[in-house]
Amino acid sequence: MLVIKDLAVKFPSRFGEFTAIEDVDMTIKPGEIHGLVGESGAGKSTVGAAVIGLLSAPGYIANGELSLGDTNLRNLTPDQAHEIRGDRISMIFQDPQTSLNPLMTIEDQLIETIQAHSNVSDSAARKRAVDLLEEIGIKNAAERIKAYPHQFSGGMRQRVVIALAICTDPELIIADEPTTALDVAVQSQVLDLIRRLARDRQIAFMLITHDIGVIAQIADRVTVMRKGKVMETGDTPQVLGAPTHPYTQALMDAVPPLDHRIARFRVPEEEGTAGVVTGNTAEKWLLEGQQYALTGLTLQDLCVRFAGPRTSLFRKPEPYVALRDVNLDVRPGSIMGLVGESGSGKSTLAKAITGLITPSSGVMRLGDEILPAGKARSRHHPSRQLVQMVFQDPYSSLNSRHRIGAILTEPLWFYGFVQDAKERERLAAAMLELVGMAPDAIDKYPHQFSGGQRQRIAVARALLARPRFLICDEPTSALDVSIQAEILNLLKDLQSMFGLTILFISHNLAVVRQMADDTAVLRNGVIEEMGATEDLFARPKADYTQTLLSLTPVMPREWQSAG
């Protein structure tokens, strides 16, 4: 049993000590799955790192008690702490792509870990490893164990990670966002596995996640954290179903429901960005640019092929088909949601539309005009201005060495909208206000902003090109739920205000349900199903859509706030 009392972790710096977490209390019983939720920066991972003794330097435990069973975790020498790691406490990391050593076989990594904690022969360790992989659900384990990590798919890799974490029979596993990088189908398998391990092996899990759906599905108890402090803790049905703390309430409000559509998200207060400021210059300027009426997009039999891996010296490599005969009709002025798992071709579709890759066949029409494919589209083709894009990761989509002003005014001179530099600055500032940011942001650099603010800047940049068609590629998947709610509200407002047509790409079904008028489901480059969002979610026809919907973790209806 893990007991945490009054835990405080501090990070000394030149500017004094920064308190990452304080007054954290938590107990996790054997076999219990304890959810730890909160937004990024809430200190969830710091709690986990403190327990396993891997706080990144110069952080240290300033106060509190930490004990596992009879062992006081704070009194250990570094060597003793290292022995306990793996043996009694283990950890699962978020991204299975990066948490395995790429240069060693699975076998070597498993055997090494087993032998680090028990004195067994190579063959005994190997047998245990194979049995474990079988148990975890890796078929043909005796052979697959010889493979390197890159030869496994994402879900399989996360299973291997879990096998590595449990191969020494630990009492406690700290799972830090174990399913965030996985598709829903794989996520539900991994969650099942975690539940099974907790039940059968009586392993205690500390499940760190920002996804309340996941918590609702498998956690026995839950602790809500914010800014390094515990807001609320208790049994999951009680905390999520009848939250007493206003923050928990706000967090629950921000979670997009999967089973019905709500008009607007109620966003947690305090972030200070109250909706869209109306009636300013930016809005006028944008409306003025509406000489093109609503612009739709049609795709006809669009195919994209990539060169596959070369298998022989003399044969041409088999092409890899990323998109096959995609027909898509985005009605003018509507939001088309595009959902699918990773690798289904969602982003490829966006790239084909924006002319970043060349489709092998098919016709794309923007409004009534045929869009030239890929490189055939000239730099000055009108669609380069009419079609704009908001990318997934606001941390890498803004040039970190340019000021916000430079980033925002670029489309204005580039497309020749505004000749006067002063005027451009004014317009950029006005646009910042329109997307809910202070206009003085114009002199700052991207790194001075949070993820949500950066995504607002990215939206502002896209709008300053006076687009008629906006492609949002997973615009909120890198953001916290409350920030996600704000950005989604913003996009909805802007869309209705300026009659934009939006292609909204996401793997998150609940978000698409809230945003899209029509939805298309993409799988392995083929559209499985397409239709009005409400119909599609209420009465999915394709088996695949039904599976996706049933696997998405949801909160029981009675816990949801009336939206």
Give residues in contact with other proteins (CB under 8 A): 52, 54, 82-87, 89-91, 93, 95, 98-104, 109, 112-113, 116-117, 148, 150, 161, 164-165, 168, 174, 309-313
In angstroms, what is the minimal distance from the CB of 143 to other proteins? 15
Record the tokens describing residue 437, joined without a space.
Answer: 């940011």
The whole-angstrom separation of Cα 499 and Cα 469 is: 9
Nearer to other proteins, 98 or 244 (CB): 98
Q: CA-CA distances (angstroms) from residue 480 to 145, 220, 251, 368, 535?
A: 37, 23, 10, 39, 28
Residue placing its CB nearer to other proteins in the complex, 100 or 521: 100
In terms of CB distance, is 160 or 250 closer to other proteins? 160
3-state SS, 225-250, equals: EECCEEEEEEEHHHHHHCCCCHHHHH
- The minimum distance between CB 430 and other proteins, in angstroms, equals 42
Of the pair 155, 268, the CB lying nearest other proteins is at 155
Q: Smallest distance from the beta carbon of 126 to other proteins, in angstroms? A: 17
d(CA 129, CA 162): 12
Residues 392 and 543: their CA atoms lie apart, in Å, by: 28
Minimum distance from residue 192 beta carbon to other proteins (Å): 22
Nearer to other proteins, 179 or 298 (CB): 179
- CB 110 to other proteins: min, Å: 10
CA distances from 72 to 21, 66, 77, 416, 551 (A): 20, 6, 11, 67, 40
- Collect contacts of 413-416 with beta carbons under 8 A, ≥24 apart: 415/385, 415/465, 415/466
* Contact residues for 545 (Cβ-Cβ < 8 A; gap 6+): 521, 528, 529, 536
- Minimum distance between the CB of residue 115 and other proteins, rounded to whole angstroms? 9
Residue (167 or 510) nearer to other proteins, CB? 167
Q: Give kind and range of the element (H or E) at residue 92.
A: strand 89-92
Q: Which of 103, 562 has the CB closer to other proteins?
A: 103
Q: Per the omega criterion (within 30 degrees of 0), is the bond before 58 cis?
A: yes
CB 208 within 8 A of CB 191: no
Q: Are 215 and 37 in contact (CB under 8 A)?
A: yes
Question: Is the Cβ of residue 161 or residue 483 nearer to other proteins in the bound state?
Answer: 161
> CB–CB of 507/342 below 8 Å?
yes
Query: Residue 86 CB, nearest distance to other proteins (Å)?
Result: 3
Tell the smallest beta-carbon distance from residue 412 to other proteins (Å): 40
Supply the minimum distance, in Å, between the C-beta of residue 85 and other proteins: 4
The answer to whether 206 and 36 are in contact (CB under 8 A) is yes
Cβ neighbours for 56, distance < 8 A, ≥ 6 positions apart: 49
Q: How far is the CB of 103 from other proteins (least distance, A)?
A: 5
DSSP codes joined into one string, 334-372: -EEEEE--TTSSHHHHHHHHHTSS--SEEEEEETTEEPP
Kindly tell me which of 58 and 246 has the beta carbon lying closer to other proteins: 58
Sequence letter at residue 506: S
Among residues 102 and 416, whose Cβ is nearest to other proteins?
Answer: 102
Contacts of 176 (CB under 8 A, 6+ apart): 44, 45, 48, 91, 92, 93, 94, 208
Structure tokens given for 539 = 């009465």
Nearer to other proteins, 85 or 461 (CB): 85
Q: How far is the CB of 78 from other proteins (least distance, A)?
A: 9
The number of residues in the chain equals 563
- Written as six digits, the tokens of 286 are 């944008």
Position of tokens 């899990």? 205
For 492, phi then psi, to 5°, come to -60, -45
The alpha-helical segments, DSSP class H, found in 291-446 are 346-354, 383-386, 404-414, 421-434
What is d(CA 169, CA 2) in angstroms, rounded to the nearest whole number? 16
* Comparison of 45 and 533: residue with beta carbon closer to other proteins: 45
Tally the C-alpha atoms within 13 A of residue 116's C-alpha that lie toward its C-beta: 18
Phi/psi for 148 (5° steps) reads -90, 160
Complex with other proteins: residue 101 or 378, whichever CB lies closer? 101
Least distance to other proteins from the beta carbon of 157, Å?
A: 11
Nearest distance from residue 475's CB to other proteins, in Å? 26
- Encoded tokens for 401: 């060495």
CB of 217 to other proteins, least distance (A): 25
Residue among 75 and 101 whose Cβ is closer to other proteins: 101
